A and B are shown apart, each in its own frame.
Chain A
């Protein structure tokens, strides 16, 4: 399965519920969870792929199995408007330096909002069956629709 753009060795490495179940002597004191393994200097200034996420961050988990359909991204049509980025409920549109790079398939749940809000013609994002390879999906892209008068 494709991990999507800017995947890191940490992102989406385990299914929810697949983490090791440790004993009472190893659970964290007070149920407190530390997001990062080491200290960070204002996380708002650090790109996700450069952050020292601990195993407690859901960044390291995947919800890919929730999907039955998935969005596929077509770079050739995209105008980098970032509609998909602002409305993605799952932090799964990867944009860097004002450019849409693609989809984080570890965290995308396949809701389809990104496709609905995409303003290009044809759309730069379309939903396909989960099993469809993105490369194959791109060959099935529709033509530009003529405006109905």
Chain B
């Protein structure tokens, strides 16, 4: 296992990129920031499976591929199964001695958006985690079906307006709470589960490396700010992500072996959630007088959630 040095960015920047440019992701998309960082975190060979979604349709449109590693896309829901199969084949061929280079280090990785992770590919992911394949699944969570034009997913947070959970005269957008995918994956007994954000690059790189190093199935939820569907200027991707982590809308933490919860980032100054909402068009209706109570409710939920995570961390459960 060859991990890249990540002590500081200068060292990290000596990595030789394996995700090529001229992919078709929107300008300012956080997906590729996250994918690049994962690929740059190790020098090992990678076999990557990707669910249908923005990343997939943008990085492998015939006759081009942006991947410098082995890569497969089958369907919307089944990257976890595809990587299971590839990993099983690796084990079988290693045992039988039919690999071309049996000593070459390799890591198996799957990417999916929140649509394919929280919703349509949920069962496939659950099965692959339960079976204990040695792989890392990374959810690029932009809280919406961005590839198909902004429909709600079970990751879309309360109050966001999407094309299928619209804010309107009698609606404040999505009413249902975001699914807690991290807790669900931890409950599978996965050896390593975490939630990270690309603005905190070093924490994210460390978490990626920990996941790649850990034998068995690991799940990482990454916050991926979407300029198109969250409706902010592409240049502000990191600024919006800063607001996500510093309002504690997206707490950054890990759960080891399903029990040991560690908070990985504590904002020096916790910001009110409305600063995060104000930076994005998808929440702008929440500032109407009749919807202000939703902001208050979300603030309360975020506070309670942060309390809960801290209690768990303290209690070592």
A109 at the interface (CB under 8 A from B): yes
Say yes or no: is A46 at the interface (Cβ < 8 Å to chain B): yes
A43 near B16 (CB under 8 angstroms)? yes
B179 at the binding interface (Cβ < 8 Å): no
* B31 contacts across to A, CB distance below 8 A: 89
Across-interface contacts of B45 in A (CB, < 8 A): 42, 44
Give which listed residue, B14, B69, B237, contacts A113 with CB less than 8 A.
Answer: B237
A41 → chain B, closest Cβ, in Å? 9
A86 touches B13 (CB 8 A): yes
Identity of the chain A residue whose Cβ is nearest the Cβ of B198 in the assembled complex: A87
A85 — which chain B residues lie within 8 A by C-beta? 9, 13
Interface residue from A63, A83, A91, A113 paired with B28 (Cβ < 8 Å): A113
Is the Cβ of A89 less than 8 Å from the Cβ of B43? no
Residues facing A in B59-101 (CB within 8 A) are 59-60, 62-69
Which residues of chain B (19-78) have a CB below 8 Å from chain A? 19-25, 27-33, 36-37, 42-45, 59-60, 62-69
Docked-complex contact A113 and B234, CB < 8 angstroms: yes
Q: Are B235 and A56 in contact (CB under 8 A)?
A: no
Q: Which residues of A have CB within 8 Å of B43?
A: 42, 44-45
Query: What's the Cα separation between A27 and B62 when bound, in Å?
Result: 10
B93-132 interface bits toward A, Cβ cutoff 8 Å, 1 = contact, 0 = none: 0000000000010000000000000000000000000000
Among A44, A90, A117, the residue within 8 A (CB) of B32 is: A90
Question: Chain A residues near B9 (CB, 8 Å)?
Answer: 81-83, 85-86
Chain B residues within an 8 Å CB radius of A109: 27
**Is B307 in the interface zone, CB < 8 Å from A?**
no
Tell me the smallest distance from the CB of B152 to a CB of chain A, in Å.
24
Bits for A127-141, please: 1 = Cβ < 8 Å to B, else 0.
Answer: 100000000000000
B118 → A minimal CB distance (Å):
23
> Which B202-239 residues have C-beta < 8 A from chain A?
227, 233-239
Interchain nearest-CB distance for A6 vs B (Å): 12
Tell me, in angstroms, the Cα distance from A61 to B63 when the chains sit together.
10
Contact with B along A51-73 (1 / 0, CB 8 A): 10001111111110010000000
Cβ contact within 8 Å between A43 and B63:
no
Chain A residue numbers with a CB within 8 Å of B68 are 35-36, 43, 51, 57
Please name the residue on chain A nearest to B17 by beta carbon: A91
B10 CB–A CB distance under 8 Å? yes
Choice from B25, B201, B235 contacting A115 with Cβ under 8 Å: B235
Q: Once the chains bind, are B23 and A58 in contact (CB under 8 Å)?
A: yes
Determine if A77 is an interface residue (Cβ-Cβ < 8 Å).
no
Using A42-B43, A97-B14 as known contacts, say yes or no to A106 and B28 having CB atoms under 8 A apart.
no
Q: Per a CB cutoff under 8 Å, which of A57, A80, A111 touches B64?
A: A57
Q: Which residues of A contact B29 (CB under 8 A)?
A: 89
- Bound state CA distance, A86 and B202, in angstroms? 10
Asked if A31 is an interface residue, CB under 8 A from chain B, the answer is yes
Q: Which 6 A/B pairs are nearest by Cβ-Cβ distance?
A: A107-B21, A112-B235, A111-B27, A111-B28, A82-B9, A58-B22
Task: Decide yes or no whether A124 CB sits under 8 A from chain B.
Answer: no
